[in-house]
Structure 1
Amino acid sequence: MKQVRVAAVQAEPKWLNKAAGIEQVTEFVYAAADADCQLVAFPETFLPGFPWWMWLRSVEWGDEFQARYLANSLSAEGPELRAVSYAARRRGIAVSLGFAERVGRQVFMSQALVESTGTITIARKASPVGLEQSVFAKCTSTPLIKATEHGRIGVLGGSDHADAERVAHLRAAREQIHVAAWSGFTVAQGDEPDPTRDVACATSVRYALDHATFVIAPVAVVPVSGWEVADSSGPDRRLLHGGGGVSRVFGPSGQELATPLPEGEEGLVVADLTLLSSIAGTRRGAALTPA
């Protein structure tokens, strides 16, 4: 049996400010390490935040944000990811980080798994959906799955959980710990709460059940104030609202392994997982329910 303590981040990104964002990420990495965690997981595109402006249909404002988003996206070889690698290596903790990856003039929805040794593995979301395609590029990329000292860790972001081929890839790899990274949820002022947050939660639970694996599901906080800070001139800055959703950790039987934080509150959701040291006797070689 192997014990692994994990943490799911629930926090508001430092919108369109990669320098402040990296400082925030390293602070959470250190906080998770101080809580004796071996793995900490961040939401999808936590750096520099998910581009919610694309829902506002303001062409002029959208162009402004597109340029700022590109400027604040991260390069795979840049100093920002090296800083995360250093923090992980220094504190002996693995980090799953969702970020916008800049390659020339293109931006990809990427996931980085930084091991406690500082080694970085990156995978990109193959097919952004809906309006995501107005910001992010498509690519050919296999999902992120890595055998680490803490078990086989797989990562998917948001709608990739509906991609049967990518899900099957992780299933065949017999992952033990799955990170289901969600970007958060927000709606226009006056609308009912976004139903997709419930769908996302149900998807995480179903994934745990179907794959007999632990699921860490980090979600970003998305308050209106975040966009008022990020933009000082956009006429539609008050059109978005919402808490963003709640980060959770689930066991292979779909049970919740930690008490969630209130919606809108920032912090870490910490849970202890018990993995088998051998794959023998487990469903599809996955993790078992904690004792």
Structure 2
Amino acid sequence: MQTTYRVAAVQAEPVWLDADATTEKTIGLIEDAAAQDVALVAFPETWIPGYPLFLWLGAVAVQTPYIARYHANSPTTDGKHLTAIRRAARRTGVTVALSYSEKDHGSLYMSQTLIAADGGVHMHRRKLKPTHVERSLFGESDGSSLKVVDTPLGRLGALNCWEHLQPLSKYAMYAQYEQVHVAAWPAFGLYKGIAYALGAEANMAVTQTYALEGGCFVIAPTQVLSERGIDVFAGNDDQRALLTAGAGSARIFGPDGTPLGHQLDEHAEGFVIADVDLSLIDLAKNAADPAGHYARADATQLLHDNRPKPPVVRPGEDAGPHFPGLDEPGSGIPAD
């Protein structure tokens, strides 16, 4: 296992509602990360095809054209977009933490796939409960999506956005001895100055707390919102007033909560890059390990049911999650 290596948090704008163009941009960013000796690069929440800001801007009837376009541009696990990105990971030797809107027949999920440096898949998960109006577009997952996996880069895990406000979900991750965590966030240009809880300051504080509580490195990628992006979603002055350009807030934190790397201007696209040394985790956890020596099992315990809960169970069939192209026998990616 590699114990020292370089990681990168993406701060960039997707090509809104365009899976083909955003996939092309993703591959370019992976190649740029490889050129800077990055071993692990992490992308923001629903990076493909971009966070659905339209959900927060008006009545459902007005959203219908956006919903149709969003469905049409949401990748499937076995489709051309994931295949192209997995090929890029293999070609560059970079491990990729990709967040996207996953289309599974008639449903969408806020998903994260951890793609190995050889193009294989370490992990696939879905956001347990979409937040607020997100639930009108995305489906839910179950306890099987709270998982940490062994990789050549250590024990890696991931959560999306306000999953970092769920104390029990976080504790389930800490208890799996997570070493490097991907905290994927959208752009913070929504309701800026109106709703403090949706802003960068509050949510980066939550992310920093995750690093300190979990005693792990945390990579937090975010999206950028440009004036061109606002034009995509704002159909009138009232909607435009709810969106603010910029809002990029990518961060990386060490296992004692220390900010790492150089923060970018909120309008800039690029990477926050830092070097990880997993041996520092032992020092952090020597002081406080909330799921280890600092726990009080006699007072409080967590029940984490990690069994998948499919809507249909057929006798004789595996009841586990099934993601075409990611977990089928012989489902390696096609050659370039």
* Preserved CA contact (<8 Å) 1:70 1:107: yes
Please state if 1:111 is matched with 2:112. Answer: yes
Shift, 1:223, TM fit:
2.4
Superposition pairs of residues 1-291 of structure 1, within 5 angstroms: 2-120=3-121, 121-140=123-142, 141-188=144-191, 191-192=193-194, 194-195=196-197, 196-228=199-231, 230=232, 234-235=235-236, 238-239=240-241, 240-276=243-279, 282-283=285-286, 284=289
Contact 1:179/1:215 (CA < 8 Å) preserved in 2?
yes
Aligned partners of 1:4 and 1:275 also within 8 Å:
no
Root-mean-square deviation (CA, aligned residues, Å) is 2.4
The C-alpha deviation readout for 1:190-216, integer Å capped at 9, x for no partner, is x45855311111011111111111111
Q: Which moved more, 1:198-207 or 1:134-143?
A: 134-143
C-alpha distance in structure 1 between counterparts of 2:284 and 2:278, whole Å: 12
Per-residue deviation, residues 226-254 of structure 1 (Å, max 9, x unmatched): 142x36x9346634223223101111111
Structure 1 runs (4+) greater than 4 angstroms displaced: 191-195, 277-286
Q: Which amino acid aligns with 1:7?
A: A
User: One-letter code of the match for 1:126?
Assistant: L
- Taking a change above 3 Å as real, the CA distance of residues 188 and 213 of structure 1, as seen in their structure-2 partners, is closer
Change (3 A) 1:171 1:32: same
For residues 60 and 235 of structure 1, the distance between their equivalents in structure 2, rounded to whole angstroms, comes to 15
When structure 1 is superposed on structure 2, of 120-129 and 19-28 the one drifting more is 120-129
Inter-CA distance 163–277: structure 2 relative to 1 (3 Å threshold) = closer
Superposition TM-score, scaled by structure 2 size: 0.78
1:60-105 Cα offsets, whole Å, 9 max, x none, are 4300100000000010111111111111111111000110000111
Counterpart residue type for residue 178 of structure 1: H
- Measure how far apart 1:264 and its partner are: 1.2
Between structures 1 and 2, the one with greater strand share: 1
Larger radius of gyration: 2
Match of 1:289 in 2: none
The total of aligned residue pairs comes to 283
For the residue of structure 1 that corresponds to 2:51, the secondary structure is coil
Q: Which runs of 5+ in 1 are unaligned?
A: 287-291
Structure 2: tracts of 5 or more residues without a match: 292-336
